């Protein structure tokens, strides 16, 4: 397998290299690529040095799979070129997610819909992945009619500059870079840009991507996305209303046996998911599972995952692993 990463110097790209090594991904060749200013930079993979090459040079290598994590503009420009020479693109940007011709994949949920002609595969937004991981098995059992989500999102979702802004502010240096206000000791009800309808792009991604992945456009979804001064992962408070009457014990059992999910839920022992402990993990953590006494057929729960892992790099690599296992390549 010849695999390339585009955007290797970014936060997600770095996690991708780490996970390829940790998961012993079957590789014949690994190519690391990034913007021209990073060409020549060095990375370690399995104790060997790899130099960053340009996207054009990666293109000339004709990789079997390319993991894109360099933003929408690069994906729009380069993904069709790579797919045109037979590479399979797994794209972590938002460029193709809502394109009706492209599939939006969370392997535990809908990878079986992939076929050999899918040459550009979209990786969902981080906050959506962890949400649908928990929603989907419950939807299969009780049919969700409505979801209300509030997120508490790590600065790592914005990127390295945001992490730098937080670290500098912790030390008392306030020179705003990424956010319109300080993030240290603050909470911003604002992730990504605002759209015409007064929701942010991040909120609209949660709404639209969730429906596409679950293949159900009848679910009512509303979201508020919030940036918090945290680095370990995204947290989500989720209120779910079902068409069928849910049973809390049964919900526990379903989530306990769902692959990729870890239930952390023991109020007597103060056990619940937190970004401090989800940091650098590949699973999605769920807890605070409880009945909503204010509305029929409704529950509340709390979901946490490392947005750079299952929310981005892990999911992309799992898609690649699925393609290999199922002989799509």
* Span interacting with ligand 2RA, options 153-161, 164-172, 178-186, 293-301, rule CB under 6 A: 153-161
- Contact flags string 250-289 toward ligand 2RA, x per CB under 6 A: ----------------------------------------
What DSSP state is assigned to residue 305? E
Tell me the CB-side half-sphere exposure of residue 197, using CA atoms within 13 A.
Answer: 8
* Span interacting with ligand 2RA, options 105-113, 150-158, 249-257, 313-321, rule CB under 6 A: 150-158
**Of residues 165 and 241, the one with the C-beta less far from ligand 2RA:** 165
**Of residues 183 and 254, the one with the C-beta less far from ligand 2RA:** 183
- How many whole angstroms separate alpha carbon 237 and alpha carbon 301? 6
153 binds ligand 2RA (CB under 6 A): yes
Catalytic residue among 139, 234, 279, 309: 234
Whether 113 is catalytic: no
Whether 234 is catalytic: yes
230 binds ligand 2RA (CB under 6 A): no
**Of residues 53 and 221, the one with the C-beta less far from ligand 2RA:** 221
**What tokens appear for 258 in the block?**
């769902």
In the complex, the smallest distance separating the C-beta of residue 202 from ligand 2RA, rounded to whole angstroms, is 5
**Of residues 153 and 235, the one with the C-beta less far from ligand 2RA:** 153
Residues between 188 and 217 with contacts to ligand 2RA, criterion CB under 6 A:
191-192, 202
Question: Which residue has 């790579």 as its token pair?
Answer: 82
Q: List CB contacts of 223: < 8 A, sequence separation 6 or more.
A: 148, 149, 150, 151, 199, 203, 206, 207
**What tokens appear for 68 in the block?**
């894109």
Q: What are phi and psi of 236, to 5 degrees?
A: -140, 130
DSSP string, 46-111: TTEEEE-B-HHHHHHT--SEEEE-S-HHHHHHHHHHHHHTTPEEEE-SSTTTT-TTSEE--HHHHG
69 binds ligand 2RA (CB under 6 A): no
Catalytic residue among 18, 113, 115, 126: 126
* Span interacting with ligand 2RA, options 62-70, 122-130, 175-183, 209-217, rule CB under 6 A: 122-130
Size of residue set near ligand 2RA by CB under 6 A: 10
* DSSP helix/strand/coil, 173: coil
Q: List CB contacts of 109: < 8 A, sequence separation 6 or more.
A: 132, 133, 136, 213, 214
Which residue in the set 4, 7, 124, 157 belongs to the binding site for ligand 2RA (CB under 6 A)? 157
- How many whole angstroms separate alpha carbon 216 and alpha carbon 121? 20
Tell me the CB-side half-sphere exposure of residue 229, using CA atoms within 13 A.
Answer: 14
Which of the residues are catalytic? 126, 234
**Which residues bind to ligand 2RA, rule: CB under 6 A?**
125-127, 153, 157-158, 191-192, 202, 307
């Amino acid at each position: 397998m010849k695999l390339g990463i585009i955007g290797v110097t970014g936060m997600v790209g770095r996690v991708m290299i780490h996970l390829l090594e940790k998961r012993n991904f079957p590789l014949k060749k690994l190519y690391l690529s990034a913007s021209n200013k990073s060409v020549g930079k060095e990375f370690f993979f399995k104790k060997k040095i790899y130099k960053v090459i340009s996207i054009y040079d990666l293109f000339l290598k004709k990789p079997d799979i390319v993991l894109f994590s360099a933003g929408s503009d690069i994906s729009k420009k380069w993904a069709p070129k790579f797919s045109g020479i037979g590479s399979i693109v797994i794209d972590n940007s938002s460029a193709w997610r809502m394109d009706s011709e492209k599939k939006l994949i969370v392997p535990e949920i809908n990878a079986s819909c992939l076929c050999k002609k899918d040459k550009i595969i979209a990786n969902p937004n981080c906050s959506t992945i962890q949400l649908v991981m928990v929603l989907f098995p419950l939807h299969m059992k009780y049919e969700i009619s409505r979801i209300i989500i509030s997120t508490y999102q790590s600065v790592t979702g914005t990127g390295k500059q945001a992490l730098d802004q937080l670290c500098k502010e912790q030390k008392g240096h306030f020179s705003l870079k990424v956010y319109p206000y300080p993030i240290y000791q603050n909470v911003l009800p604002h992730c990504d840009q605002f759209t015409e309808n007064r929701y942010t792009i991040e909120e609209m991604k949660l709404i639209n991507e969730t429906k596409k992945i679950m293949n159900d456009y009848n679910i009512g979804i509303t979201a508020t996305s919030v940036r918090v001064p945290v680095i370990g992962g995204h947290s989500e408070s989720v209120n779910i209303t079902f068409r069928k009457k849910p049973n809390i014990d049964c919900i526990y059992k379903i989530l306990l046996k769902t692959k990729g999910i870890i239930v952390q839920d023991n109020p007597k022992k103060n056990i619940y998911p937190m970004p401090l402990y989800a940091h650098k993990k590949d699973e999605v953590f769920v807890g605070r599972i409880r009945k909503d006494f204010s509305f029929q057929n409704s529950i509340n729960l709390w979901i946490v995952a490392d947005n750079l892992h299952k929310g981005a790099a892990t999911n992309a690599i799992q898609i690649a692993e699925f393609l290999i296992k199922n002989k799509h390549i």
